[in-house]
């Protein structure tokens, strides 16, 4: 298996492992918070049950104390006891076996009209509702009911006194239950909130739970006393745990960022690998291109050298022509080798430039001389215009010549069809501009940004038998930038190409 396939498989495995870990991490954190919530809700339920048992047994204890005190033979004693000791009981009614109130068998803490109302209510409705006929001896029964919209709680018991059967019915003081007993049980400082609601959901006692989610509220009904009411408990902490808890959110953020880091890291590695592969491809392309470029002039030199050596010339003029060809090709070879050597030095980070005060006009003249032969060979004309205003500059004359020659060489290589090349040396404000313009095929807009990259060759060129190494323009750019300037291209397919290399003129120049 080739290396990239391995690498991709490995990366897929890393992504899968990271994804799996993230998924399990997330699930674990979710399960944990679900469990945590269940524990909190269980604790709340237990506490609520305890409170209900406490309240109900207090009420039942109070009822039983009254039941015990009832002495059928001496009912009057009950009044004092009720008034002083049993605040939870509002009224006591003694009924005979035909469910009628016995004489002096009605005690109440009520005042005024409400005494009559209670009597009436008992006789007309409550006694019928109690279900006394089914009651067993000494077994407490209770009735929590609403009459005319008001709540009542009655407890009752069946007793025997000698031959006679009687019933004791107690009316609980619900006002006392709510304002005192509930208060005692629920107003304690605790992280929980308590509320008692009736069957319609109306709050009888306690806090408003508005804003708390229903799932975080535990609800338990009373069973032995006010069984139409329910106790509701909420814990804001548990509310926070419903939905997505804050810890779970933090976990999610952590897991998410870890995944992102892994993915970004892997993409970086992939990109690096791709770049490395592309660079390797470019390098081998470069080597084959350079070798080919070296080979062409070398084979020309060797061919004409051999002819001269063997005396295969018809005239001395022809011999001179062959020698000139050899000279020209050797210059081309030298330039190519210069290019490659300089490029290699720049790549290694060696400072290749030697700056000295010099005249740009001389640099241009030298470049024109050196490229004249090639221009001629390609049947092209070079039109040169030099601005006499151009000042002396601190520069590396050799490097600048190499840059101009590269631009002119490119014009010959790629734009020979345009027949003409313009070379301008100009001064524009604080810049010296060297412009090389051809009338060739031009460069596609989307490739103009990349032609200055090392090894880059335009698509159109790669398909043609025009050889090149892809380092010429990157050298031009490096040289221009080393002089504090830059190089720009202006081109379009079919519109020719203009390169402008500029160098800043130092203050006072
Ligand atoms: P090389 O010429 O060795 O390929 P360069 O760095 O000198 O490398 O040029 C990079 C690419 O820019 C060339 O391959 C070519 O596609 C494009 N190019 C450069 N000069 C011209 C030009 N005058 N006309 C058209 N295309 C050009």
Is residue 412 within 6 Å of ligand 1 at its C-beta? no
Confidence of residue 292 (pLDDT cuts 50, 70, 90): confident
Residues linked to residue 107 through DSSP beta bridges, in sequence order: 92
- Determine how many CB atoms are found less than 10 A away from the CB of residue 297: 20
pTM, entire model: 0.50
Task: Give the atom of ligand 1 at the shortest distance from the alpha carbon of 458.
Answer: 16
Q: Give the mean model confidence (pLDDT) for residues 463-475.
A: 82
How large is the angle between the packed helices 360-377 and 397-415, nearest 10 degrees? 30
DSSP symbols for 442-475: ---HHHHTTTTSTT---HHHHTTT----S-HHHH
Is residue 496 within 6 Å of ligand 1 at its C-beta? no
Nearest Cα to Cα of residue 421 among 459, 359, 379: 379
Kindly report the protein residue whose alpha carbon is nearest to atom 21 of ligand 1: 410
- 61 CA → ligand 1 middle, Å: 105
Q: Order across the sheet with 431-438: list the strands.
A: 381-386, 420-428, 431-438, 497-504, 486-491
Task: Give the atom of ligand 1 at the shortest distance from the alpha carbon of 470.
Answer: 8
- 497 CA → ligand 1 middle, Å: 10
- 340 CA → ligand 1 middle, Å: 16
Q: What is the structure's pLDDT at 241?
A: 57
CA distance 282 to 431: 35
Q: Comparing 71 with 391, which gets the higher pLDDT? A: 391
* Residue range 131-142, pLDDT digits in tens: 898 999 999 999
Task: Give the atom of ligand 1 at the shortest distance from the alpha carbon of 474.
Answer: 6
- 409 CA → ligand 1 middle, Å: 9
Task: Give the atom of ligand 1 at the shortest distance from the alpha carbon of 499.
Answer: 23
Is residue 405 within 6 Å of ligand 1 at its C-beta? no
Percent of the chain with pLDDT over 90: 48
Nearest Cα to Cα of residue 440 among 458, 464, 416: 416
Specify the residue for token string 């000279």.
Answer: 327
Q: Give the mean model confidence (pLDDT) for residues 287-307.
A: 86
Contact 81, 168 (CB under 8 A): no
Tokens of 13: 């495995």
Is residue 105 within 6 Å of ligand 1 at its C-beta? no
* Residue range 362-373, pLDDT digits in tens: 999 999 998 888
Task: Give the atom of ligand 1 at the shortest distance from the alpha carbon of 438.
Answer: 23
Kindly report the protein residue whose alpha carbon is nearest to atom 12 of ligand 1: 451
- 501 CA → ligand 1 middle, Å: 15
The whole-angstrom distance between residue 57's C-alpha and the CA centroid of its chain comes to 56
Kindly report the protein residue whose alpha carbon is nearest to atom 11 of ligand 1: 457
CA distance to 8, 23, 247, per residue, from 27 (Å): 28, 6, 13
Nearest Cα to Cα of residue 285 among 277, 507, 196: 277
Q: What is the structure's pLDDT at 447?
A: 93
State the virtual CA torsion across 46, 48, 49, 53 in degrees, nearest 10: 140
CA distance 429 to 387: 13
Is residue 414 within 6 Å of ligand 1 at its C-beta? yes
Query: Is pLDDT above 90 for 220?
Result: yes
CA distance 152 to 172: 7
Is residue 454 within 6 Å of ligand 1 at its C-beta? no
Range name among 62-66, 215-219, 321-325, 484-488 with the lowest pLDDT average: 215-219
* Residue range 66-124, pLDDT digits in tens: 888 888 877 767 777 676 677 788 999 999 989 999 888 888 888 888 889 999 999 99
């Amino acid at each position: 298996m080739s290396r990239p396939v391995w690498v991709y498989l490995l990366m897929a495995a890393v992504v899968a492992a990271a994804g799996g870990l993230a998924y399990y991490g997330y699930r674990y954190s979710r399960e944990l918070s679900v469990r945590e919530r269940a524990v909190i809700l269980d604790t709340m339920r237990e506490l609520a049950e305890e409170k209900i048992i406490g309240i109900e047994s207090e009420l039942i204890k109070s009822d039983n104390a009254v039941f015990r005190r009832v002495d059928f033979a001496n009912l009057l004693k009950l009044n004092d006891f009720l008034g002083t000791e049993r605040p939870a009981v509002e009224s006591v009614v003694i009924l005979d076996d035909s469910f009628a109130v016995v004489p002096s068998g009605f005690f109440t803490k009520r005042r005024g009209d409400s005494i009559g109302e209670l009597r009436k209510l008992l006789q007309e409705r409550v006694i019928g509702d109690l279900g006394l006929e089914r009651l067993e001896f000494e077994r407490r029964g209770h009735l929590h009911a609403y009459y005319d919209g008001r709540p009542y709680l009655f407890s009752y018991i069946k007793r025997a006194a000698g031959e006679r059967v009687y019933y004791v019915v107690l009316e609980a003081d619900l006002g006392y239950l709510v304002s005192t007993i509930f208060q005692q049980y629920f107003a304690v400082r605790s992280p929980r909130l308590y509320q008692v609601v009736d069957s319609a959901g109306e709050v009888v006692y306690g806090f408003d739970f508005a804003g708390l989610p229903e799932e975080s509220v535990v609800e338990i009904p009373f069973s032995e006393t006010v069984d139409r009411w329910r106790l509701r408990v909420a814990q804001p902490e548990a509310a926070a745990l419903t939905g997505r808890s804050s810890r779970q959110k933090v976990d999610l953020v952590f897991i998410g960022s870890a995944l992102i880091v892994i993915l970004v890291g892997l993409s970086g590695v992939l990109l690096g690998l791709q770049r490395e592969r592309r660079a390797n491809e470019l390098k081998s392309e470069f080597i084959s291109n350079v070798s080919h470029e070296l080979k062409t002039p070398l084979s020309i030199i060797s061919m004409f050298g051999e002819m001269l050596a063997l005396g295969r010339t018809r005239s001395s003029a022809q011999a001179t022509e062959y020698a000139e060809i050899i000279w020209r090709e050797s210059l081309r070879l030298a330039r190519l080798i210069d290019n490659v050597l300089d490029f290699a030095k720049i790549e290694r980070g060696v400072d290749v430039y030697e700056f000295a005060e010099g005249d740009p006009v001389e640099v241009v003249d030298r470049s024109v001389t050196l490229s004249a032969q090639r221009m001629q060979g390609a049947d092209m004309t070079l039109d040169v215009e030099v601005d006499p205003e151009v000042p002396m500059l601190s520069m590396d004359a050799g490097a600048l010549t190499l840059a101009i020659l590269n631009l002119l060489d490119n014009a010959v290589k790629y734009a020979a069809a345009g027949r003409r090349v313009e070379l301008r040396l100009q001064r524009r404000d604080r810049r010296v501009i060297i412009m090389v313009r051809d009338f060739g095929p031009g460069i596609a807009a989307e490739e103009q940004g990349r032609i200055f990259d090392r090894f880059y060759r335009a698509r159109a060129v790669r398909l043609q038998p025009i050889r090149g190494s892809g380092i010429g323009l990157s050298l031009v750019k490096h040289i221009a930038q080393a002089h504090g300037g830059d190089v720009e291209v202006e081109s379009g397919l079919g519109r020719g190409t203009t390169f402008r290399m500029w160098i800043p003129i130092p203050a006072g120049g």
